[in-house]
Amino acid sequence: MLPRRRVIDLLQVISSQSCKCPAHGNPGATSVQEHGKSRSTATNVAADKEYAFEMACSTVRYGIGVTRELGMDIQNLGAKKTCLMTDPNLINLAPMKTAINSLSKYGVQFEIYDKVRVEPTEKSLQDSIEFAKRGNFDAFIAVGGGSVMDTCKAANLYSCDPDAEFLDYVNAPIGKGKPIQIPLKPLIAIPTTSGTGSETTGVSIFDYRPLKAKTGIANRPAYQGQNPVSDVWARYALQVMRKYFKQAVYNQDDLEARSHMHLASTMAGVGFGNAGVHLCHGLSYPISGNVRNFLPKGYSKDHPIIPHGLSVVISAPAVFSFTGNACPERHLEAAELLGVDIKNAKRADAGKILADTVKEYMRVMKIENGLTELGFKKEDIPTLIQGTLPQHRITKLAPREQSEEDLAQLFENSFTIF
């Protein structure tokens, strides 16, 4: 575990930057503090410059009670009218009550949008966009998990460019992939979950139902991939998981464990926000896009969904077994950071060792036993492959290339995990 001083130093490093991941980043993300001084314009960095690496993420404020400062922050921005977004469940819970009380205390004028759909679709995003356009807001607040934050980002973008067609900014090949070159309004994200990292990134991921595909809105830098700086954040997140994950899952009153997992989520977001993501994400998009009747525990029962985190992790053991031989040292390092003794481990076993390690964490979370329990059948594999192939901007970042036959085997190996 990194010492407290090191954590503070790292937070200070990221507090003045903004994110550029091809799957999860927007080079135009502007911090709230920067907005108070000048309006920053997003640019397509890849069109102007090429970087081997650029440190980037959102401004981060972390600590007990920071949500109570929300009203003061919005007041300091000089915002006249603020959009407060959440979902139908969170509207009645403590985080929203704290946010509302703080805004009211400082006399902030705001309107609430509480119709965010868990796992957004093009339709749910368009509904939120229309709300934002009608409201003519000059600041946005997202209180919730990744779905709320992603919805709020999209509403901010399209309300700032009211003449844009919805598909203009959506990633190709589904949309036009138009670069974001307009000034955006300040957006404060208050994450209520530990895992998405969306508070550090500038993307909006959603299900495009006409094609049963998941896609997103994001600018892309010239280069992506593993680098020494992103490794710092990834290692930190894994170290925290090793110590606090099980406690946070099984003892919800353990504020120390839950706080550390909350911070680890942010740190992980900074890491993949620069390095990018690969096969697990690429495979996840058709998995969530082709959901049938799966209703996850703890979620609203009004529509079937496969939550983003579940759709990603369900293929992780198969993926790590597949990629292990491409970079065994890194797979073994990840397993060690998660608590495995690798002193006598063989390089040839690296993929399996990490896969088995992830399986144990999945057991702790009582994750469903593969694609079968999510409602898929073997005859769905061709559809899942076709949904993965367009995600080459992500899958090409994997340490090992994949053929269609490889993808078929990865899905095959994900039908039963334990």
**pTM for this predicted structure:** 0.84
What the block records as the tokens of 259 is 């706080």
Q: Residue 298 burial by CB count (10 A; 0-12/13-18/19+): exposed, middle or buried?
A: exposed
Angle CA(127)–CA(276)–CA(126) in degrees, nearest 5? 5
- Distance CA(161)–CA(413), nearest Å, equals 44
Q: What is the pLDDT of residue 226?
A: 83
Cβ-based neighbours of 385, under 8 Å, separated by 6 or more: 286, 404, 407, 408, 411
Domains of the chain: 66-218 (3.40.50.1970), 277-413 (1.20.1090.10)
3-state secondary structure of 187: strand
Q: What is the pLDDT of residue 89?
A: 94
- Distance CA(20)–CA(222), nearest Å, equals 10
HEC letters along 203-235: CEEEEEHHHCEEEEECCCCCCCCCCHHHHHHHH
Side-chain half-sphere exposure of 372, counting CA atoms within 13 A? 9
Closest CA to 173 of 285, 279, 277: 285
Angle CA(205)–CA(208)–CA(46) in degrees, nearest 5? 50
pLDDT digit of tens for each residue in the chain (418 aa)? 555 665 566 555 555 444 433 334 333 333 333 343 333 334 344 445 555 566 655 678 999 899 999 999 999 999 999 999 999 999 999 999 999 999 999 999 999 999 999 999 999 999 999 999 999 999 999 999 999 999 999 999 999 999 999 999 998 889 999 999 999 999 999 999 998 889 987 789 999 999 888 889 985 555 568 888 889 999 999 999 999 999 999 998 999 999 999 999 999 988 888 788 999 999 999 999 999 999 999 888 889 999 999 999 999 999 999 999 999 999 999 999 999 999 999 999 999 999 999 999 999 999 999 999 999 999 999 999 999 998 888 899 999 999 999 999 999 999 999 9
Q: What is the pLDDT of residue 46?
A: 42
- Distance CA(123)–CA(277), nearest Å, equals 26
Side-chain half-sphere exposure of 284, counting CA atoms within 13 A? 25
The answer to whether the CB of 40 falls within 8 A of the CB of 34 is: yes
Q: What is the pLDDT of residue 261?
A: 96
- Distance CA(263)–CA(197), nearest Å, equals 9
Side-chain half-sphere exposure of 33, counting CA atoms within 13 A? 8
Helix axis angle, 381-388 relative to 279-289, nearest 10°? 120
- Distance CA(219)–CA(202), nearest Å, equals 9
- Distance CA(204)–CA(132), nearest Å, equals 15
Closest CA to 384 of 276, 278, 277, 282: 282
- Which residues does residue 82 pair with via DSSP β-bridges, in sequence order? 110, 139
- Distance CA(388)–CA(349), nearest Å, equals 27
Side-chain half-sphere exposure of 230, counting CA atoms within 13 A? 21
Closest CA to 97 of 149, 143, 147: 143
- Distance CA(18)–CA(16), nearest Å, equals 7
Q: What is the pLDDT of residue 388?
A: 95
Q: What is the pLDDT of residue 27?
A: 35
Q: What is the pLDDT of residue 271?
A: 86
Closest CA to 46 of 15, 18, 22, 23: 22
Dmax over Cα atoms in the chain, in whole Å? 63
For residue 7, give the DSSP letter: H
